[in-house]
Amino acid sequence: MSDRQEPRGRRPLEGQVALVTGAGRRQGLGRAICARLAADGCRVVLTDIAAAQPLLASEHIGTQSEMELTAAELRAEGAEVLALALDVRDEAQVEAVIANTVRQFGRLDILVNNAGIGYLFSPIVDMPADFWKAVMEVNLLGPLLCTKHAARQMIAQARGGRIVNIASQAAKSGHPHLAAYIASKHGLVGLTRTAALELGQHGITVNAVCPNHVTTGLGAVQNAYYAKLAGISVEDYLAKMRQGIPLGRVGQAADTANACAFLCSEAAAYITGEAMNVSGGAEMH
Ligand SMILES: NC(=O)c1ccc[n+]([C@@H]2O[C@H](COP(=O)([O-])OP(=O)(O)OC[C@H]3O[C@@H](n4cnc5c(N)ncnc54)[C@H](O)[C@@H]3O)[C@@H](O)[C@H]2O)c1
């Protein structure tokens, strides 16, 4: 980890290479994470599934052209960026994208497991088994496969590394009509803790970030669903939500991106196995 200590004046992650999953959507958290890591000096591998999915509406899928647009914006700011299709459920694709990253950028230092689905709402008594399986495959199998192959690369490099899993407030508390999502995010914290135990000896830290509802991306869809269920407008739903947040505002993508950047920095070198709330105080355990 010694080469993480950059001379004064350099950006904190200068020269590091970061791979972020599910980062294609314009309003998504992954885009904000990529932008923040690039601003801190990372070369960024921006990935997303970029293909239609049976249970998901097309507007919930990050496309290759969206990825290219974001990549072009980050390049205009001076960042080096690759935009690659990656379905996190497909182990062969995971291996190929990591090999491609190393071929083009020479190394891999940071993995952010951000890809996730949480649009398949249903009360438990009506839940189709397919909903459960679909959510578990993206939200749990995906992070496992990416962690497995990224960690192999980091271990081979012998320079340590950082893995950040984007969990959720849903990893800490239940929520109606989202049993699969909630269970998957609780499970992601379990994966985080086990990976932290196994990979600590290699100087690789593994942490989860647990944002509350962010008003963009998947959070916006969830807000619309629960507002409709309560028979109120999204504005009234968000106003009610704000009342339960000590800091008095809902989460922004930048809040999550800032937490990721911290966990990837040298300042967080002694933090591993944590599930850090980024919730304005809405979640405290
Ligand atoms: N927005 C919120 O309120 C909020 C709160 C807490 C946690 N999160 C988590 O943050 C992450 C990003 O959420 P978001 O709000 O940006 O949602 P989003 O829908 O904008 O982003 C999710 C991305 O995952 C991608 N994806 C879906 N299936 C995939 C697969 N098989 N392989 C690769 N990529 C796939 C989608 O194409 C999409 O780009 C998710 O893990 C989500 O659970 C979001």
Residues 254, 186 contacting (CB under 8 angstroms): no
- Give residues (CB < 6 A) around ligand 1: 21-22, 24-25, 27-30, 48-49, 60-62, 86-89, 114-118, 138, 142, 166, 168, 211, 213-214, 217-219
- The span from the CA of 24 to the CA of 17, in Å, is 18
Residue 181 bears catalytic tag: yes
Task: Specify the pLDDT at position 1.
Answer: 44
Alpha carbon of 114 to ligand 1 centroid (Å): 6
pTM score, two decimals? Answer: 0.97
Give the total residue count for the chain: 285
pLDDT tens for the 285 residues of the chain, in order: 445 555 567 899 999 999 999 999 988 999 999 999 999 999 999 999 998 888 888 888 899 999 999 999 999 999 999 999 999 999 999 999 999 999 999 999 999 999 999 999 999 999 999 999 999 999 999 999 999 999 999 999 999 999 999 999 999 999 999 999 999 999 999 999 999 999 999 999 999 999 998 888 889 999 999 999 999 999 999 999 999 999 999 999 999 999 999 999 999 999 999 999 999 999 999
In 21-160, DSSP assigns E strands to 43-48, 81-85, 110-113
Task: Specify the pLDDT at position 7.
Answer: 57
Alpha carbon of 2 to ligand 1 centroid (Å): 33
For residue 88, count CB atoms less than 10 angstroms from its CB and return exposed for 0-12, middle for 13-18, buried for 19 or more.
buried
- Could you count the other beta carbons within 10 Å of the beta carbon of residue 282? 21
- The span from the CA of 235 to the CA of 58, in Å, is 25
Residue 240 bears catalytic tag: no
In the set 181, 226, 237, 270, the catalytic residue is 181
- Which domains are present in the chain? 12-212+252-273 (3.40.50.720), 214-250 (no CATH)
Task: Specify the pLDDT at position 33.
Answer: 98
